[in-house]
Amino acid sequence: MLRIVLGGVVLIALLIFSLGTALVVGLHGRGLAALNGADWSAVKFTLWQASLSAFLSIAMAIPVARALARQVFPGRQALITLLGAPFILPVIVGVLGLLAVFGRAGWISAALQWAGFAKLSIYGAPGVILAHVFFNLPLVTRLLLQAWAAIPAERFRVAESLGAAPWAYFRLIEWPMLRATVPGAFLLVFLLCLTSFVVALAVGGGPRGTTIELAIYQAFRLDFDLGKAASLALVQFTICGVVSLLAFLVPLPQTDGLGLDRVVQRLDGPQHRFADGLWISAAGAFLVLPLGAVLMRGLRHMLELPPQILAASVTSLTIAFASTALCLAMALSLSLAFARRGSLARSLAEASGILGLASSPLVVGTGLFVLIFPYAQPMTFALPITASVNAMMALPFALRVLMPAVQEAYGDYLHLRLSLGMGRWIWMIRILGPRLRRPIGFSAGLAAALSMGDLGVIALFADPDLQTLPLMLYRLMGAYRMDQAAATAVVLVVQSLLLFWMFDRGGRGHAAFG
Amino acid sequence: MKLTSLFAGLFLASAAVAETPVLTVYTYDSFISDWGPGPMVETAFEATCGCDLQMIGAGDGAALLSRLRLEGTRTEADIVLGLDTNLTAAAAETGLFSPMSLSANYAVPGGWSDRYFAPFDWGYFAFVHNTQLTAPTNFRSLAASDLKIVIQDPRSSTPGLGLLLWIKAAYGDEAGDIWADLSDNIVTVTAGWSEAYGMFLEGEADLVLSYTTSPAYHLIAEEDSSKTFALFDEGHYMQIEVAGKLATTDQNALADQFLQFMLSDEFQSIIPTTNWMFPAVTPKMGLPDGFPQALSAEQSLILSPQEAAAQRSAALEEWQNALAR
């Protein structure tokens, strides 16, 4: 009963933060406003770029995750941890890193010119997609890797002892897992790309790269048309809703046979060594080179870091810990409340959880501002608001990881609990706890890293004495101090990765792989 | 006993705080950042006012105005500092501002008179480039060259809007053609100034839309003389940044004192090397070494606030059509 109440409370809070803030903004203006032709073409462009980016990220992540899942090599764990980095980079830093490699003055252009060819130009559609794949491929790879590691070792053992061919491995073991994981992963990347506008614009090459989020920006800044901003936000939610339904309606395969929680040992690794090696090196280079450019650029200027870096780090860490705790509490409440309900209830719960990702930070921030302002100075709530909004943005990831884990734990072991008459606490500590430890660690790592890297709504509620690392980075850039900003980016990346590693490691316990 | 005195101390301390009047100034974020004028301005004003100056940042000028419109007459702000003349028509229309009579020996080309706002600094938009480049001398020669530029989106960036109005002010009805000719020179359009400037510094473009004072930052703060700006013979569009007093202020005298202070030598001499703009009133010490010259009044283009407000939508549509290709 308590579970349902908690789950319900979380759902209501989520709806207030997402749809609620959009409606508040609309009502504060002159009601919802109709969209014009330019807005609809922004909708079209947004749908196109988000679908394509999500599709390509997934298509490339599958072979990369599979390669990482079945190969063991020195530095594997470091590479996997590093894979988390592009995802948490402030977009402006990531874009500059990408351009250092793929830009007109980048390494590839330099090599092409040296060899007598024309410079590489990625601006336009290729740039948008390249950048979105750069930011999202690592995330999808991590999500898929997580799912690969969750396949019980026994299945691979059985397959191995039956002498299964590679195709049979895929069809019988990996395909059901992919069918269960890919739609959700697609949805997440799609939504991440849906609300991005700095990237789409910076490498999109011009006003053709207008996304819905940019149209919202325009409605706010230039026209102060709150109704229009709210309408656009609702269009974003509608798209999110439709795509979520499509993703969640894909029937999940039944789990067949439980494992004994052994470490997965893939014996089929060696035969795929060459192809896997290619995928890992290609993806590794694609992700690590721009990251290396960012780090190299910053490391040279570490000594010029302003003293404010300490306070900013502490603020960022505080927000990250608070939002991680909040995100986990929400994800667990929802998972425990809805994982065992019918698939419709579960889908609805997860769809509400995912709304956060389809919210425009500008609309959420303004909505909260309008709600709080009559009663208090919103600036005094800068920290809790930023932590809550960050938690909400990370929730879909945590749900994606936790919901199936809870569902599987109940599916596999509930009959055991019933037949043994196991008490609530024993069940929680002995069965559920250990099974959720890894997904909890992973989602906590994601939530913390996401919160570290996100500029978020703090910019809207900024208190002069309170700055996070991303805010400090933007302020340094705005004051021409690009070198110090680059050094700040290094601090940000290192701290976020450490945080991610700490949580994820804690979740993995003593497991050797994952 | 100790606890009692602790509480007594706390009470006295809060009573002392309560007696200090608070002046609330809304401004754009980069003004209050540790690298902007904010911290020095605060120290200097608080040394004489016997008050607590609270500066609250909100994005950029346009975000500032949106914030004010959201808060309406319930705003706590006494002063708003950091709108530019592209926004003042809309700002005055809100009816939130109180008329003021402030006079000074303004260094703003073309002079200044406005019922509601007083300028605190100003600058010119310009294309910044490396000194070894043979720079274009106007938009037509830029468009005819194969030089690459990075600009900002007028919908999300103040300089971006400045460029839109610059071309409109210089070319009027021909602005659309200029944009069409420029389109193959534009590498990309960024959301904000920082992205564009960062991309330029990384070598992605030959020129970037910024200010005539940008090279002065590199020269003065980094002793790097490799940057300069392209002088265009159409003239350069100006950005004049202003402050206004809210009609709803409960600190009328203090607000007036702050506006006076804003035009004083002390405030004005902080501006050049923190905000990297021309001070509205030239300080006694003059401009710092390495700062560019102001252009003549003929070379200084600007649309009046009313014209800027009236032309913006059409100019924006023209821009979108020309660049959508």
In chain A, where the domains are located: 1-34+303-514, 36-300
Residue A148 above 50 pLDDT? yes
Least-confidence region, from A22-31, A249-258, A295-304, B71-80:
A249-258
pLDDT of residue A166: 76
- To the nearest whole number, what is the mean pLDDT of chain A? 83
Task: Output the pLDDT for position A251.
Answer: 59
CB contact under 8 A, B191 and A198: yes
Q: Which member of A207, A217, A477 has the closest CB to residue B198? A: A477
Distance CA A57, CA B94 (A): 47
Contact A104 B323 (CB under 8 A): no
Contact status of A131 with chain B (Cβ, < 8 Å): no
Higher pLDDT, A489 or A361: A489
Instruction: Please write the tens of the pLDDT for every residue from A186-217.
Output: 888 898 888 877 787 788 777 777 788 888 88
Considering the four listed CATH numbers 3.40.50.150, 1.10.3720.10, 3.50.50.60, 1.10.1200.10, the one that applies to the domain covering A1-34+303-514 is 1.10.3720.10
Asked if residue B4 has pLDDT above 60, the reply is no
- Which of B62, B186, B217 is facing A480, going by the closest CB pair? B217
Instruction: With a cut of 70, say whether residue A252 has pLDDT above it.
Output: no
> Structure tokens of A237?
């939610």
Contact by Cβ (8 Å): B123, B214: no
Whether residues B70 and A100 touch (CB distance < 8 A) is answered with no
What architecture is domain A36-300? Orthogonal Bundle (1.10)
Task: Give residue A167's pLDDT.
Answer: 79
Match 């010490």 to its residue by tokens.
B285
From A258's Cα to the closest Cα of chain B, the distance in A is 51
pLDDT of res. B1: 40
The pLDDT of residue A509: 62
| Residue A27 or B306, more confident | B306
For residue A75, give both structure tokens. Answer: 């530095």
Strand partners, B300: B236
The lowest-confidence range among A44-53, A206-215, B166-175 is A206-215
Kindly state whether A212 is in contact with chain B, defined as any CB-CB distance less than 8 angstroms. no
> Cβ neighbours of residue B300 under 8 Å, at least 6 residues apart?
B109, B110, B124, B235, B236, B238
Tell me whether A474 touches chain B (CB under 8 Å).
yes
Give the pLDDT mean for A311-320. Answer: 93
Q: Write out chain A residues lying below 8 Å of B65, CB-based.
A: 224
Q: Do residues B201 and B264 touch, judged by C-beta distance below 8 A?
A: no
Q: Pick from A203, A207, A218: which is nearest to B324 by CB?
A: A207
pLDDT digits (tens, 9 = 90+) for A294-313: 899 899 999 989 999 999 99
**Nearest-CA distance from A106 to chain B in Å?**
8
The pLDDT tens digits of the residues spanning B114-133 come to: 999 999 999 999 999 999 99
Element housing A109 (H / E): helix A107-114
Maximum average pLDDT range among A139-153, A176-190, A404-418, B138-152: B138-152
- Which residues in A lie closer than 8 A to residue B33 (C-beta atoms)? 464, 475, 478-479
Q: What is the mean pLDDT of residues A275-286?
A: 90
Q: pLDDT for A455-503, tens place per residue?
A: 766 666 666 677 889 889 988 998 999 999 999 999 999 998 889 888 8
Q: A201 and A127 in contact (C-beta within 8 Å)?
A: no
Q: List, in sequence order, every residue forming a beta bridge with B243; answer none if it has no partner.
A: B81, B118
CB contact under 8 A, B194 and A306: no
Examine the pLDDT at A514 and tell me if it is beyond 50.
Answer: no
Return residues 372-391 of A near B (CB < 8 Å): 373-374, 377, 379
Mutate to test the interface with A, among B189, B197, B200, B317 (most CBs of A within 10 A): B189
| Mean per-residue pLDDT over chain B, rounded | 91
Nearest to B49 by CA among B74, B78, B82, B26: B78
- Enter the ipTM: 0.87
Q: Averaged over A149-173, what is the pLDDT?
A: 77
How far lies A393's CA from each of A192, A358, A360, in Å?
10, 9, 10
Please state whether the predicted TM-score (pTM) of the whole model is above 0.80.
yes
Q: What's the pLDDT at A175? A: 84
- At B279, the amino acid letter reads P
Q: Which of A100-109, A319-328, A337-346, B277-286 is least confident?
A: A337-346
The partner residue sitting opposite B201, judged by closest CB among A366, A460, A482, is: A482
Residue at A439: amino acid letter? P
- For B185, name the nearest residue in chain A, comparing CA atoms only: A205
The residue of B24, B27, B35, B208 whose CB has the most chain A CBs within 10 angstroms, and thus the best one to mutate to test that interface, is: B35
Torsion of CA A210, A216, A218, A219, to 10 degrees: 140
| Residue scoring higher pLDDT (A129 or A317) | A317
Question: Rounded to a whole number, what is the distance in angstroms from the first to the last CA of chain B?
Answer: 79
Q: What percent of chain B has pLDDT over 90?
A: 77
B202 and A222: CB-CB below 8 Å?
A: no
Measure the CA angle with vertex B100, ends B98 and B103; round to 5°.
160
Q: Where are the alpha helices (DSSP H) in A209-255?
A: 212-221, 226-249
pLDDT in tens, B44-83: 999 999 999 999 888 888 888 988 998 889 898 999 999 9
Could you identify the residue written with the tokens 């609250």? B56
Identical fold between A1-34+303-514 and A36-300: yes
| Minimal-distance CA residue of chain A relative to B201 | A482
